[in-house]
Amino acid sequence: MMTAPSNAPTGEALAKLRAEAQETVRELRSRIETLHDDAIDLILRNARSHYAWQDRPVSREVLKTIYEITAAGPTSMNTCPARFFFIESQEAKERLAKSLKDKNIDKMMSAPATVIIAHDVEFWKELPYLFPHEDRRPHFEGKPEHSEITAFRNGTLQGAYFMIAARAMGLDVGAMSGFSNQIVDEEFFSGTTLKSNFLCNLGYADETALFQKLPRLPFEAACQFL
């Protein structure tokens, strides 16, 4: 039988932590049951992908807050495999530009920050800290395919949380997939266990570059009751 790591709470300490967690959720639900329409519009319904940016910096404090919000989102077994690399300097932007399709270079270069959203395929080494009540490392150690699938799936989820968190904090985002993952990985992650997933420009948008919002599939075309 696997034993819990030494930092796992037990007994009365565990019972107290569970009670506090349950009360936190109950108290939150007593204050707010749903987001109001403006909040939903801001983060998803009327939010847009942006391609042009104001010359206005994004503070590192805001970026730290966005990460903290993102990190609170759920992942399987609390694996948290995503890693975020904020490309701000001219030198780093020039390195990243090597991987981009031509039409995406200006979008990235003009953004105050571009995030490489990556994942660590050896995320499972952090599980004694992230999932302390049971040693789940044997689920992944020596199983590279399972580790890769888990890292990619949950890292992608965290990337989506990141975009919503950025919008919630008043920023605009423009995700990009028009780049070479291989070049990014060679340029930034050579010799590591990290792999890039997608890029996301961050900043305060210049809305004059927007065009009309494209259609989405209606409920009947995308959903079924079984």
Tell me what pLDDT residue 141 has: 97
Is residue 223 within 8 Å of residue 192, measured between CB atoms?
no
Mean predicted confidence (pLDDT) in 16-23: 94
Tell me what pLDDT residue 4 has: 47
Quick check: 10 pLDDT over 90? no
pLDDT single digits (tens) 161-209:
999 999 999 999 999 999 999 999 999 999 999 999 999 999 999 999 9
Quick check: 1 pLDDT over 50? no
One-letter amino acid for residue 83 of the chain: R
Tell me what pLDDT residue 2 has: 43
pLDDT single digits (tens) 78-115:
999 999 999 999 999 999 999 999 999 999 999 999 99
Quick check: 219 pLDDT over 50? yes
pLDDT single digits (tens) 143-163:
999 999 999 999 999 999 999
Its pTM stands at 0.93
pLDDT single digits (tens) 30-42:
999 999 999 999 9
Tell me what pLDDT residue 173 has: 98
Mean predicted confidence (pLDDT) in 63-68: 98
Superfamily (CATH) of domain 48-206: NADH Oxidase (3.40.109.10)
Contacting residues for 14 by C-beta, under 8 A, at least 6 apart: 8
Quick check: 5 pLDDT over 70? no
Q: How many CA atoms lie within 13 A of 76 on its CB side?
A: 16
Which of 160, 188, 131 has the alpha carbon at shortest distance from 47?
160
